[in-house]
C-alpha cells in the first residue's frame, strides 16, 4: 500500500484507524411525549360550582355589619348549639380573613376547612371582620363566610362568636367528624 502524503489528512486518519465496522440501523429517536390531557370535566364542574355559589349569593339576603351569623343542622341537638353560641367549645384552629379579596378569602376558607377536616378538628374560629365601612357598604367577607359554611356538608353548625372571642366579626364553626 502506498504511503499517503502529508497533504492528505483524511487518508492518514483512515490509515491510523484501520478498517471500520458500520453501526447497525437504529430505530428513530423517540418523539416528544404527548401533552397530558386536560381535566375538562373537573374544570367544568368547578365552573358550575362557582356559578351555583354565585347564584346562592344572589338568592339570599345579605347580612349587615352587626348581624349575627347563626346556622344549625337538624342533626345537632339544641343543647350543643347553645354551647357553641356561648363559646363553650375550644377553637382548635383559627383563620383570619382580614385584608383578603373576595376570591382570596373564598380560596383560603375552603382550604382552611379542608385542612381542619383532615386534622379532624371539632371546632374552629373564622375571623371575617365586621365589615363596618364609612361608605355604608355590606360586609363582603362576612356574607361570604355565611354562604360557604351553609353549603358545606362537613359543617354541623356555626354562630357568631361571643364578644370576648370576636363578637359579630368572627364565627365559631362546629365541624363534622369523619
- pLDDT tens, position by position, 118-173: 999 999 999 988 876 655 567 888 888 999 999 988 999 999 999 888 888 899 99
Distances (CA, A) of 84 to 16, 44, 89, 157: 92, 37, 6, 8
Percentage of residues in the chain having pLDDT higher than 70: 81
Q: Is 11 exposed, middle or buried (0-12, 13-18, 19+ CB in 10 A)?
A: middle
Distance CA 158, CA 152 (A): 12
Q: Is 45 exposed, middle or buried (0-12, 13-18, 19+ CB in 10 A)?
A: exposed
Asked whether 158 and 171 are in contact (CB, 8 A), the reply is yes
Identify which of 142, 173, 131 has the alpha carbon closest to the alpha carbon of residue 57: 142
Of residues 59 and 80, more confidence is placed in 80
Q: What is the pLDDT of residue 11?
A: 84
Residue 43 has pLDDT above 80, yes or no: no
Q: What is the pLDDT of residue 51?
A: 63
Residue 54 has pLDDT above 70, yes or no: no
Can you point out the beta strands (E) in the chain?
70-72, 94-96, 123-127, 155-160, 170-175
Q: How many helices (H) and strands (E) does the chain have?
A: 5, 5
Q: What is the pLDDT of residue 110?
A: 93
Domain 40-175 fold is Ribosomal Protein S8; Chain: A, domain 1 (3.30.1370)
Distance CA 69, CA 100 (A): 20
Q: Could you state, in order of their start, the residue ranges of all structural domains in the chain? A: 40-175
Q: What is the pLDDT of residue 173?
A: 95
Residue owning grid cell 355604608: 136
Q: Say which DSSP state 24 is in.
A: P
Of residues 20 and 38, more confidence is placed in 20
pTM of the model as a whole: 0.63
pLDDT tens, residue by residue, 82-98 = 999 999 999 999 999 98
Amino acid at each position: 500500500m502506498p504511503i499517503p502524503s502529508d497533504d492528505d489528512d483524511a487518508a492518514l486518519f483512515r490509515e491510523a484507524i484501520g478498517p471500520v465496522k458500520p453501526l447497525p440501523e437504529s430505530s428513530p429517536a423517540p418523539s416528544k411525549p404527548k401533552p397530558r390531557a386536560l381535566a375538562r370535566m373537573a374544570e367544568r364542574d368547578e365552573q358550575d360550582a362557582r356559578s351555583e355559589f354565585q347564584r346562592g349569593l344572589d338568592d339570599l339576603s345579605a347580612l349587615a355589619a352587626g348581624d349575627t351569623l347563626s346556622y344549625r343542622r337538624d342533626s345537632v341537638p339544641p343543647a350543643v348549639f347553645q354551647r357553641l353560641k356561648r363559646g363553650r367549645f375550644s377553637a382548635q384552629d383559627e383563620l383570619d380573613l382580614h385584608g383578603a379579596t373576595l376570591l382570596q378569602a373564598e380560596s383560603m376558607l375552603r382550604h382552611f376547612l379542608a385542612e381542619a377536616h383532615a386534622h379532624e378538628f371539632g371546632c374552629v374560629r373564622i375571623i371575617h371582620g365586621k365589615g363596618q365601612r364609612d361608605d355604608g357598604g355590606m360586609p363582603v367577607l362576612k356574607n361570604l363566610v355565611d354562604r360557604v359554611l351553609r353549603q358545606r356538608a362537613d359543617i354541623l353548625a356555626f354562630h357568631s362568636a361571643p364578644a370576648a372571642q370576636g363578637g359579630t366579626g368572627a364565627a365559631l364553626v362546629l365541624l363534622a367528624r369523619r
